[in-house]
Amino acid sequence: MAELGGGPMELVVVIINYGTPQCTIECLESLAGERTHYTNFKVLLVDNASKDDSTAQLSRAIVHNQWSHWISLLPQTRNLGFAGGNNAAIRDAFHQPAPPEFLLLLNSDTLVHPNCLRTAVNRMRNSPKIGALSCMVRNTDGTIQNVCRKFPNPLLETCRTLGFPYLFPKLFSWADTEDPSWNRVTTARAVDWIGGAFMLLRASAVRTSGPLDEGFFFYGEDTELCHRLFKNGWLVFFDPTAEITHLGGASSSPSQLQNRQKVQLAWNAKLQVQQKCYGKISALWMRAIYLIAISLNLLSLWATGRKGSTDWLRSALNLSILLRP
């Protein structure tokens, strides 16, 4: 167990590195900037058995920048995935002499804006029913990433997969799981689920509802956790007054995951969410709907002379993965 030392911790920030040490160091630099006005947080940095010299680079950066009093490095002997890596740090935090009140799961490819941590923690402290919170997440060009969506229950997911919200928007706008009907720049509100790039968790909610489900390796674990929190009476919330920039997908880039493996993990996650949140019949139903939708798309591409196009190859890959038992 990594000993963080010091007094009671308000917040522990959990960051997973997998083969992206420079990106992770830039994230840590943005957190170091936060410490000029908010110091009641520490970082547990998990290296998920990177195949490069990440551990050495991160260790050198921590020593060189004199960060060792607020950052602890937790090297793993194997890649535990997103859920397993985060849970390793969560267990460590809970076993500290002074466990934290809040846990922030923060992607390594993010940059924290000034006052982000204190603003987000204050919202949680002032609203004790919130179990999980996301902030405003921006792309590098300043545009907004959608980090708040509706739960993909079988009815909504069926309508979405078959394209009803886009073909018949007046009749099926309610079935758009992207939930575009409200202003994310000005509105703070409860939502269904939030993405894992920035997920601030109340420690007591994690204790009562459980940590991330390690049955997920990559993708889907954020949806399932928010669904579990919701079932246990906690609110999931979005607050745009705290902000980060998300550089985007560093630990799941083509250099880290082969394309087929990435697509396979995404489909596995979709079906796991259905089974774990809504039951085995829902998962079987949605697999059938996905197969129908992809087959219809391939038929349309063939009929319009686009066999062999990028869209055709992508759909063919999806079909081959879903047809595997």
**Contact call for residues 163 and 170 (beta carbons, < 8 A):** no
Q: Are residues 288 and 241 in the same domain?
A: no
For residue 254, pLDDT over 90 is answered with no
Q: What per-residue confidence (pLDDT) applies to 218?
A: 86
pLDDT tens, position by position, 49-70: 999 999 999 999 999 999 999 9
Asked whether residue 54 is assigned to any structural domain, the reply reads yes
Percent pLDDT > 90 in the chain is 90
Q: Are residues 202 and 246 in the same domain?
A: yes
Q: What per-residue confidence (pLDDT) applies to 325?
A: 64
State residue 43 phi and psi, 5-degree precision.
-120, 130
Percent pLDDT > 70 in the chain is 94
* Number of compact structural domains in the chain: 2
Nearest one of 297, 285, 298, 277 to 224, comparing CA atoms = 277
Asked whether residue 112 is assigned to any structural domain, the reply reads yes
Asked whether residue 45 is assigned to any structural domain, the reply reads yes
Asked whether residue 2 is assigned to any structural domain, the reply reads no
Which CATH number belongs to the domain containing residue 75 in this structure? 3.90.550.10
Distance of alpha carbon 217 from its chain centroid, rounded?
Answer: 12
Q: Are residues 36 and 71 in the same domain?
A: yes
For residue 253, pLDDT over 60 is answered with no
Write down which residue in 252, 283, 310 finishes a domain: 252
| Coil, helix or strand at residue 12 | strand
Q: Are residues 70 and 114 in the same domain?
A: yes
State residue 238 phi and psi, 5-degree precision.
-125, 130
Q: What per-residue confidence (pLDDT) applies to 96?
A: 86
Domain of 265 in residue numbering reads as 259-322
Nearest one of 106, 107, 118, 96 to 39, comparing CA atoms = 118
For residue 123, pLDDT over 80 is answered with yes
Q: How many residues does the chain have?
A: 325
State residue 202 phi and psi, 5-degree precision.
-80, 125
Nearest one of 321, 25, 35, 87 to 217, comparing CA atoms = 87
CA separation for the pair 138, 116 (Å, rounded): 13
Nearest one of 241, 178, 245, 232 to 201, comparing CA atoms = 232
